[in-house]
Structure 1
Amino acid sequence: MSIRVRLPRATVALTLTVSAALVAGSPAFAASAPTSLPAGQFTLSANYTKFDALNTALAGKLGTASVSDVMDNANHDRQGITDSLNLAGYSTGFQFDDTDVNDCANFPQGITTSRDAVGTANSGNYDGHQLILVSWYTKDGCGGGTSRSRITLVDWDATYPNKYRKILLVEPTGTTAAPNFKDVLIHAGGVSWYGDYLYVADTGHGMRVFNMAKILKTNTGGTADQIGRQSDTTYYAHNYAYVLPQVGTITAATTSGTSLAWSSISLDRADPSIVMAEYTCSSGCTAYPNRAPRAVRFPFAPGLTTFAGSTTASEALQLPWYKLNGVASHNDRWWFNSSGDKKLYYWTPAAGPSSYSWVSGGESISYWEDTTNPDLLWSLQEPVGHRNVFAVEQASYDG
């Protein structure tokens, strides 16, 4: 037996309007909007010299490599996307090689580009290359705990082959007489490249800082488990040929009573700052906070690619959306990727919020400025078998 319910004409009209808005790429009204929080309750303390002595000693032992050197020795082939992403404004993208796409122990998380690093000058080239940079964390076997983190540098320039190279992230240890390094045990959920500095989200603390001009060469041929100093001249790094040593720390503090969870970060070149967002749940999570998430903007020192010794946030928001893996901001506009909703939320204080259909397993977002072509939003997917890195025209997700 079927039951028919006659709806008022206004209700039918509203239903049709909402249904039409849910078509991929069409904005749908998002009922709740971000609200302002007191920005002054969030601060950063920066230390860019913490590992200077050890890094100088390590460079003397191992020798350095430029980004150009690394890409001249890139040893993995990127490939085209075969999944149907069904995204409005889709522009371009790639997948990693089959081994990385199907690896159940390594997971891509953050994304940034050489356009973040240097802007639009010289076609966004850093050390002669236009690059996409993705951060990963490694589990101790499939299903294990986090054991290390890395980045991949991907050539995105017709001048060069479709290649990429992996670089292990390490923390300097030991003494200046016997310098050493160890794995960086973080989720690496967000990453931002600004000038030479690479900022990597460290969930419970703030950010770790690396310098892309200080890549080190290491010895290959050891076992997959070997890490660090083996002798005065031999250093293994899980068979990685290159390591990127940490140079400093950005430590977060708050007077709000609830520490920030640094789940994702992104660079805003239009208002030189890093924006961060928290991954939280409305309820029921055991590994993540069960509360409303926040997004906070921290400005760089004027004219520099570094933070001042002490920095106070310039903007703070409480957000109505949960399970946020990605954030981006540019010219007073914000984008938030919710992996829980498979939505990309867009918001400005003047226009309010809207939402768009998005990919499953979506991760971080990076804003790509362009002087001759449409600006892009770069993002990526985490799920095994579907490690797509893709770009969409920003204007298709602009309310």
Structure 2
Amino acid sequence: MSGVFQSELRRFAVAGLVCLASCGPTDGASEHEEEHVSREAQALTEGAPLSVHDASCLQLVDQNTWSTYASYLTAVPNARSLSDVLLDLNRAGPVLTSLNHPPATGYKGGFRWNDGDMATTEWIPQGMTAGVSGGKNVVMVSWHYGLSPDKGVRVSVADVTDMSGTAVNYRHLLLVRPTASGNFTTVPEHGGGLTWFGDYLFMADTGDGIRVFDLTQIREVDTSAACEATIGKTATASGTVWCAYGYKYVLPQVSAYVVPLSITSPCRPTFSFLGKDTRGSVDVILSGEYCNNGSTPCPYDGTTPGLGGRLYRWPLDSTTSRLKAVGGVVKPEKAYVMNEPNVQGVAPIMTTTSTTSYWLSSTRSSGALYKVSTTSSRTAYRATDAKWALMPEGMHATASGTNLWTVTEGVNGITNPATGGRVVFFVDQASVD
């Protein structure tokens, strides 16, 4: 379907600020009132409006490996562009039909993965983002690896420019981190969130911050049997080759933005998912925290476990497509407590210029889409009411205000896309606005 987007580390011991004692939710206070926040965790209400949060204690620091990692990559041959990869897609994902798409309010279209990717227990879909490359509309989805040895994270690149046929073509790339001149290794992270600005793909690094991968530095590597169990530079009987566990392409990390080790709980956030917001005067990366009332509590839950997950807006430098640093650090321009549990993804509501409203993707109620803002209680579209897909993860809202995309993790053991199998689909933004 042409025009579907329509315009579209590990921790380093770096110096930083400690968390201020006043860092906490303000229950919708104005920017001036944020200075007078409670020092204690507050009781929260599920479905309540977003609460403005004082994030003055928080910062990210650039690991600044841009030049170092680029120099390491010069010794790895066969540089390729994203456009090259889009001409070499090797898998076909059947387009969903009226008989097998998941229930979702405003459903417009989508696809499932091929049979092997629908059934694999080794890889699990997580984050997603989308954009345009060489005139083609592209969806990217991250998958984390669940076995040992850890192969890290792979990213699916899918061409969704024309969805009028029977299938969408896609290919998996393995994310890697340069380690030395001419060598690289895996990125053993959860890959819970992606977002794409310019030539950079940003990925959530759960405990540390945000990793950055360069779409102009893709490398084609060896796919022979000698590489199926190997990563990086490898000596073989026929000479030196570069391997990526059998994958044909690797997408290298170039830097990362990390929370200094001196910033501890409750100030220190986790980075469970990412999104992008282009509505304001400055483009931002959205990051947020997954919280539940069990194994993953959050520091601001108070007496209502699972609701204290925070949502952050990190400003970008439009000239570089990197995060905007002032005095060597990146500070969030705004933060909120979401008052929602089990959040897995975020997208801005593009039918408004206000930056105080969002869609949240949650696995609450087996799957839900929440429309939230700072002024109104949520609107919910739940899987249990047949209004949303099961197990939704990352999201992307097209800048035109037309489509809202999401990817599902899939329900264990189910491959039918209508009843919980893994899918990528989009709905009409106006239908859920």
- Shared fold (TM-score, shorter chain, > 0.5): yes
Q: How far did 1:340 drift?
A: 2.1
Select between 247-256 and 213-222 the one with higher mean Cα deviation.
Answer: 247-256
Aligned pair partner of 1:362 in 368, 371, 392: 392
5+ unaligned residues in a row in structure 1: which ranges?
1-28, 115-124
Output the CA distance in 2 between the equivalents of 1:354 and 1:308.
33
**Is 1:102 aligned to 2:119, yes or no?**
yes
Determine if contact 1:279/1:323 at 8 Å carries over to the other structure.
Answer: yes
Classify the secondary structure of the residue corresponding to 1:55.
helix
Determine if contact 1:55/1:245 at 8 Å carries over to the other structure.
Answer: no
Determine if contact 1:41/1:255 at 8 Å carries over to the other structure.
Answer: no
* Structure 1 counterpart of 2:24: none
> Which amino acid in 2 is paired with 1:92?
G
**Is 1:242 aligned to 2:249, yes or no?**
yes
Aligned pair partner of 2:222 in 219, 224, 238: 219
**Is 1:390 aligned to 2:425, yes or no?**
yes
5+ unaligned residues in a row in structure 2: which ranges?
1-44, 300-304, 383-387, 416-420
Classify the secondary structure of the residue corresponding to 2:191.
coil
Determine if contact 1:112/1:191 at 8 Å carries over to the other structure.
Answer: yes
Output the CA distance in 2 between the equivalents of 1:97 and 1:362.
19
Determine if contact 2:86/2:159 at 8 Å carries over to the other structure.
Answer: yes
Q: How far did 1:58 drift?
A: 2.7
Determine if contact 1:46/1:308 at 8 Å carries over to the other structure.
Answer: no
CA deviation profile, 1:29-72 (whole Å, cap 9, x unmatched): 9752221111322222224x405334334334322111121121
Determine if contact 2:125/2:408 at 8 Å carries over to the other structure.
Answer: yes
Cα RMSD (Å) of the superposition? 2.4
Size of the alignment, in residue pairs?
349
Shift of the 308–106 alpha-carbon distance from structure 1 to 2, 3 Å rule, reads same
**Is 1:192 aligned to 2:158, yes or no?**
no
Determine if contact 2:201/2:212 at 8 Å carries over to the other structure.
Answer: yes
Output the CA distance in 2 between the equivalents of 1:257 and 1:269.
29
Shift of the 286–349 alpha-carbon distance from structure 1 to 2, 3 Å rule, reads closer
The 5-angstrom pairing of residues 233-382 of structure 1 reads: 233-252=240-259, 254=263, 257-271=266-280, 272-282=283-293, 284-285=294-295, 291=306, 292-309=308-325, 310-330=329-349, 331=353, 332=355, 333-341=357-365, 342-357=367-382, 358-370=388-400, 375-382=402-409
Select between 306-315 and 201-210 the one with higher mean Cα deviation.
Answer: 306-315
CA deviation profile, 1:101-147 (whole Å, cap 9, x unmatched): 11111011111111xxxxxxxxxx3123211111111121xxx6854
Q: How far did 1:361 drift?
A: 0.8
CA deviation profile, 1:372-393 (whole Å, cap 9, x unmatched): xx51111011115211100011
Q: How far did 1:252 drift?
A: 2.7
Output the CA distance in 2 between the equivalents of 1:57 and 1:304.
21
> Which amino acid in 1 is paired with 2:203?
V
**Is 1:76 aligned to 2:91, yes or no?**
yes
Identity of aligned residues (%): 28
Select between 151-160 and 161-170 the one with higher mean Cα deviation.
Answer: 151-160
CA deviation profile, 1:80-111 (whole Å, cap 9, x unmatched): 22534221111111011110011111011111
Select between 268-277 and 303-312 the one with higher mean Cα deviation.
Answer: 303-312
Output the CA distance in 1 between the equivalents of 2:223 and 2:378.
51
CA deviation profile, 1:332-379 (whole Å, cap 9, x unmatched): 221111102222111222344221222211101111123xxx511110
Output the CA distance in 2 between the equivalents of 1:158 and 1:297.
33
The 5-angstrom pairing of residues 36-185 of structure 1 reads: 36-47=52-63, 49-81=64-96, 83-114=100-131, 125-140=132-147, 146-158=150-162, 162-174=168-180, 176=181, 179-185=182-188
Select between 304-313 and 127-136 the one with higher mean Cα deviation.
Answer: 304-313
Output the CA distance in 2 between the equivalents of 1:252 and 1:269.
24
Output the CA distance in 2 between the equivalents of 1:261 and 1:145.
24
